Amino acid sequence: LAKQGMSAAQIASELDDAKCRIRLVALLYTLEYLQKGGRISKTAAFAGGVLFKPVVAIQDGAVAVLGKARGSKKGNNLLIQQVKEAGGIDFDMPFFLGYTGLGYDLVRKYVEDSRELWEGHVESVGYSTVGGTIGTHVGPGAVALAFFAKQ
């Protein structure tokens, strides 16, 4: 932005606008690790149940459970739905797709299931493991997507 000739005040304004569009949604295997890390209550973790895949987001600086789905296919569909409800991904901005666990089968399945989000926007979808600090809180088997929502 500075190279485009914007002033410091204009840059600050652009950044303020952009940060309001940042979204993070994730499909978790369980809520157990969020509860153990103090991110959600025992009641919320119990309500998530062990048979369901919770979809969570960061809203107003806190973890919010957006929904629960039985099985990874329905969980992936719920994650896709959350991206669409946010307005879709602004592919002019960076995005990050990450996963936790020892293998990348879950994230590959998500990329395949969510092909409609990516087709025509990017040649390939890259993904990476989530770092240890976040991974400890979400546990193994999580798929997370951080992106800027379209304006």
Cα separations (Å) of 29 from 76, 85, 138, 148? Answer: 12, 22, 8, 24
pLDDT of residue 51: 54
Give the model's confidence band at 149: pLDDT under 50 very low, under 70 low, under 90 confident, else very high: very high
Cα separations (Å) of 146 from 7, 49, 108? Answer: 28, 25, 16
The dihedral formed by the CA atoms of 31, 37, 41 and 45, expressed in degrees to the nearest 10: 10
Report the C-alpha gap between 45 and 78 in whole angstroms. Answer: 18
Tens of pLDDT, residue by residue over 126-147, are 999 998 888 877 888 889 999 9
> pTM of the prediction?
0.82
Residues 6+ apart with CB under 8 A from 113: 73, 76, 77, 80
DSSP string, 17-59: HHHTTEEEEEE-S-SHHHHHTTSS-HHHHHHH-SSSEEEEEEE
* % pLDDT > 70, the chain: 90
Tens of pLDDT, residue by residue over 22-72, are 999 998 877 777 777 766 666 666 555 555 778 888 888 888 888 888 777
Residues 6+ apart with CB under 8 A from 134: 100, 144
Cα separations (Å) of 98 from 4, 45, 147? Answer: 32, 22, 11
pLDDT of residue 106: 85
In terms of Cα–Cα distance, which of 60, 19, 42, 39 is closest to 142?
39
